[in-house]
């Protein structure tokens, strides 16, 4: 018998229970990690990509990374001196806001800071991001890298894509199996906010415009029971 296509009823009480259990698990896991590692880092992420964060986890497999609900993570560390899980952690909790995560590790602080300074990955922009440069597609046959590489190293765009890229706003035409532009066309301007059609074209043409990057905001050292704030690659002690 074919499966019923009726919508299944999901009871809100079950959803709330699951959400509560997830928060409790995150809370206890953060506190367990604070007990078992020498240092806790708060890091911010630019242009979050799960694939790159997974790579960071792999490279730091001797450590633990949490990228969950910030309020729960902050509460687990302790929002006040009276509530802090270990001496000094309340100072670190105040740095947990926005797109941030926690790294628990026994690695030396400068090694961790240096690792993230050196770790960057280029990726394709998503809608809402500002273009980092002008992209102008030359007139004539449209190539797969639209002038980003020499023509002899490139290949023409397949004729089967012509309808798609025209739908995305590029004024192309199909002539004798070739995708053509009557005149050069500006895909985007530096500083403008990209829409979904522009980002789709940039990805199609292999043009990456964003950089996945992690920056350390501050870290706590169990030995000193104190927090160090990291700003502009300089380290200063927080009072």
Q: What would the pLDDT profile of 135-178 be if each residue is shown by its tens digit?
A: 999 999 999 998 888 878 899 999 999 999 999 999 999 999 99
CA angle 181-186-189, nearest 5°? 170
Distance CA 51, CA 13 (A): 33
If you search the block for the tokens 């990291």, which residue do you land on?
A: 230
Strand partners, 178: 175
The C-alpha atoms of residue 25 and residue 23 are separated, in whole angstroms, by: 5
Residues 207-222 have a mean pLDDT of: 91
- pLDDT of 9 higher than 80: no
Q: What percent of the chain has pLDDT over 70?
A: 90
CA angle 44/48/51 to nearest 5° reads 125
Q: Is the dihedral of CA 49, 52, 58, 61 positive or negative?
A: negative
Give CA–CA dist 225/218, Å, rounded.
Answer: 13
Give 44's contacts (C-beta < 8 A, 6+ positions apart): 98, 99, 100, 214, 215, 217
Whether 234 has a pLDDT exceeding 60, the answer reads: no
Torsion sign, CA atoms 223, 225, 231, 236: negative
pLDDT over 50 (residue 233): no
Span 27-65, pLDDT tens digits: 999 999 999 999 999 998 877 787 888 889 999 999 999
Which pTM value belongs to this model?
0.72
Q: What is the pLDDT of residue 235?
A: 39
Query: Under DSSP, is residue 148 helix (H, G, I), strand (E, B) or coil?
Result: coil
117-121, 126-130, 154-158: least confidently modelled range: 117-121
Chain segment 69-116, per-residue pLDDT in tens: 899 999 999 999 999 999 999 999 999 988 899 999 999 999 999 999
Residue 9 DSSP code? P
């Amino acid at each position: 018998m074919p499966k019923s296509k009726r919508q299944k009823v999901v009871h809100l009480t079950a959803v709330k229970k699951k959400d509560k259990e997830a928060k409790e698990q995150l809370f206890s896991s953060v506190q367990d990690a604070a007990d078992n590692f020498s240092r806790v880092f708060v890091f911010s992420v630019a242009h979050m990509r799960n694939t790159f964060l997974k790579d960071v986890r792999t490279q730091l497999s001797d450590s633990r990374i949490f990228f969950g609900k910030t309020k729960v993570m902050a509460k687990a560390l302790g929002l006040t001196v009276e509530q802090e899980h270990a001496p000094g952690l309340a100072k670190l909790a105040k740095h947990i806001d926005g797109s941030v995560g926690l790294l628990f590790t026994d690695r030396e602080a400068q090694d961790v800071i240096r690792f993230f300074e050196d770790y960057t990955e280029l990726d394709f922009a998503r809608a809402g991001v500002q273009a980092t440069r002008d992209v102008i597609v030359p007139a004539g046959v449209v190539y797969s890298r639209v002038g980003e590489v020499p023509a002899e190293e490139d290949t023409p765009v397949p004729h089967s894509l012509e309808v798609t890229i025209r739908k995305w706003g590029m004024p192309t035409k199909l002539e004798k199996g070739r995708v053509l532009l009557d005149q050069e066309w500006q895909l985007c301007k530096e500083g403008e906010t990209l829409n979904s059609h522009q980002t789709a074209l940039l990805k199609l043409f292999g043009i990456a415009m964003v950089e996945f990057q992690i920056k350390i905001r501050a870290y706590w050292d169990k030995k000193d029971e104190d927090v160090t704030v990291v700003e502009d690659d300089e380290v200063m002690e927080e009072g």
